[in-house]
Amino acid sequence: MKKTAVVAIGGNAVNRPGEAPTAENMMKNLAETAKYLADMLEGWDIVITHGNGPQVGNLLLQQEAAKDLVPPFPLDVNDAQTQGSLGYMIALTLQNELMRRGKSRDVVAVVTRIVVDENDPAFQDPTKPVGPFYSEEEAKKLMESKGWNMVEDAGRGWRRVVPSPQPLDVVEKEVIKRLIEADKIVIAAGGGGIPVVREKDGTLKGVEAVIDKDRASALLAIELDVDMLIILTGVEKVYLNFGKPDQKALDKLTVEEAERYMKEGHFPRGSMGPKIEASVRFVRETGREALITDMAKLREALEGRTGTRIVR
């Protein structure tokens, strides 16, 4: 029996820093990403998750520029659009890479809804910046006309902020399980999934929010009962005092050590923090291991030669 893993690919897998966010560049980068994922498939069955923050931001920019011609869509619909487009690109490049290797596997992208609590405190304290920058005058008009929450962002202008609630349930989890059992490679919960709330009658309603992709990946890994959560990012290992002269690479972290270092401020909310938090949740609830490493080092990390493992 092959081992199973949820593999969360980071933003560099889709768009490199300073690179134009064109479809051509995204396809080129994902074709490179597909090689590392295809290598892993020799010994693992995987479910792939991915971010979509820059892509949603670009979509919001496009809609803002064309708002007088076409009404902008709500955020949950934009989440769905980018899940679909990125899921298509990942499926296309990975399936092509497997064909080049003489292997035939179906790669399936599932547009995934994630249930959140409408009473989550995040809805009262929106913190996640999305979309374009506005002048103060434009921001005030949008706050009045649309009821948006807007904040001034480090002297660069005003931006909309939206809630980032905790993910509670994956609506499509049983479908994803059946696809895995049928030997399909699944792409799911892209961009943290589409946030929905359950109404009193059991129906679902999309909400204006963005779920952290690492939190959603951990939840999916727990619900699918996989052997490992793997988070691929831009660094080979997790570090203490990252970027400082005394930075220290970590080969292994216990749950208790990880939580202590988080409290000490070693893992910022905007970078490594969510990855550590997601890993801790997965390990605590399953007793299994999580792995954080650079995509190019994935094979070595799976062999135990690099990367950072979070253990019980």
> Which residue of the set 10, 12, 131, 237 is catalytic?
12
Q: Which two tokens stand for residue 91?
A: 């499926």
- Token pair 């059946």 is at which residue? 178
Predicted TM-score (pTM) of the model is 0.91
> Which residue of the set 10, 11, 192, 193 is catalytic?
11
pLDDT of residue 154: 67
Q: Which of 159, 292, 128, 294 minimizes the C-alpha distance to 218?
A: 292
- Cα separation, 240 vs 233, whole angstroms: 16
- Token pair 């690099």 is at which residue? 306
Is 10 labeled as catalytic in the residue annotation?
no
**Please, are residues 98 and 38 in contact by the beta-carbon 8 Å criterion?**
yes
Domains of the chain: 3-115+167-311 (3.40.1160.10), 126-162 (no CATH)
Is 190 labeled as catalytic in the residue annotation?
no
**Please, are residues 252 and 308 in contact by the beta-carbon 8 Å criterion?**
yes
pLDDT of residue 186: 98
Is 173 labeled as catalytic in the residue annotation?
no
- In angstroms, the Cα distances linking 268 to 97, 109, 242, 253, 276 are 35, 31, 10, 17, 10
> Which residue of the set 78, 128, 192, 307 is catalytic?
128
Is 2 labeled as catalytic in the residue annotation?
no
Per-residue burial over 210-222, b if 16 or more Cβ lie within 10 Å, else e, is: bbbbbbbbbbbbb
**Please, are residues 129 and 185 in contact by the beta-carbon 8 Å criterion?**
no
> Which residue of the set 29, 213, 237, 307 is catalytic?
213
Is 205 labeled as catalytic in the residue annotation?
no
pLDDT (tens digit, 0 to 9) for every residue of the chain, 312 residues total? 789 999 999 877 888 877 888 999 999 999 999 999 999 998 899 999 998 877 887 888 898 889 999 999 999 999 999 999 999 999 999 999 999 999 999 999 999 999 999 999 999 998 887 777 889 999 999 899 888 888 887 677 888 888 899 999 999 999 999 999 999 999 999 999 999 999 999 999 999 899 999 999 999 999 999 999 999 998 999 999 888 888 899 999 999 999 999 999 888 876 799 999 999 999 999 999 999 999 999 999 999 999 999 999
In what helix (H) or strand (E) does residue 72 lie, and over which residues does it extend?
none
**Please, are residues 37 and 46 in contact by the beta-carbon 8 Å criterion?**
yes
